Amino acid sequence: MNFVSAVILGFLQGMTEFLPVSSSGHLVIAQSFIPGFTQPGVLFDVILHLGTTVAVLFYFRKKIYSISKEKIIVLVIGTVPAGIIGVLFNTEIEALFSSVKLVGLALLATGLMDFGTDRFSGRKQVVSKLDGLMIGIGQAFAILPGVSRSGTTIFVGTSQGIRRQEAAEFSFLLSVPAIIGAGAVELVSHGATNNLSIFVYLGGLVSSFLTGILSISLVLRLLAEEKFKYFAVYCLIIGIAVLII
């Protein structure tokens, strides 16, 4: 892999990680329909996820600095379901990444949730422990390839009556332990081989970081304007196309 390829993959990771369109689903589709496309090595993949994690920490740095103990507890509660499922069923989950038809169906589900998000307009400004658990269960469901983590968690949050902005912020903060945990499981399961230039890793890291910040900003703006339907239409079109082809 060269520097340009690393930057492109970083761009795709940064955009699809937070847009409610499923980064995992797009990876499966790319592997199936783009000749010669192969998934990057484990270490490079972890580096890309590190970039998007730092993007969240940077974008919400002021809120993280003043975060309350209660909110940390709720975030921990929200992290537990996906953590349990990911550890116990890691092998079974990996096997699902070979099913393009499953991704098609999952993208349809993601599209429907994106449509649903536009219909909810809650007023709760505080995420309760029960809300955190429900959002966490949604995040566990999003382990399936083709189901968007951000799309699912924001949908569940808004359906619980949580204000749009707060639901999105909670979703993004919840992504930090989820991404770190997934990366750790990958490293433990597959190991890491450092077979690329440092400049390739840096290219992917910086690219995923910058585009991650851009996609977070875009999601928050479109969510406030009730324009998640654009993501919904996209997911439905891609999902139907995958099922037909």
Per-residue pLDDT tens over the stretch 96-154:
888 899 999 999 999 999 999 999 988 898 999 999 999 999 999 999 999 999 999 99
Distance separating the N- and C-terminal Cα atoms of the chain: 29
Q: Which residue has the higher pLDDT, 16 or 80?
A: 80
Q: What is the pTM of this model?
A: 0.91
pLDDT band for 35, please (50, 70, 90 cuts).
low
The CA-atom distances, in angstroms, between 234 and each of 173, 191, 200, 237 are 25, 35, 31, 5
Report residue 9 as tokens: 């993959």
Per residue, the 3-state secondary structure of 10-53, as one string, reads HHHHHHHHHCCCCHHHHHHHHHHHCCCCCCCCHHHHHHHHHHHH
pLDDT of residue 38 exceeding 70, the answer is no
Name the residue among 97, 92, 113 with its Cα closest to residue 21.
113
- Answer whether 157's CB lies under 8 Å from 113's CB: no
Matching residue, tokens 């989820």: 178
H helix runs in 40-99, sequence order: 42-59, 61-65, 69-88, 90-96
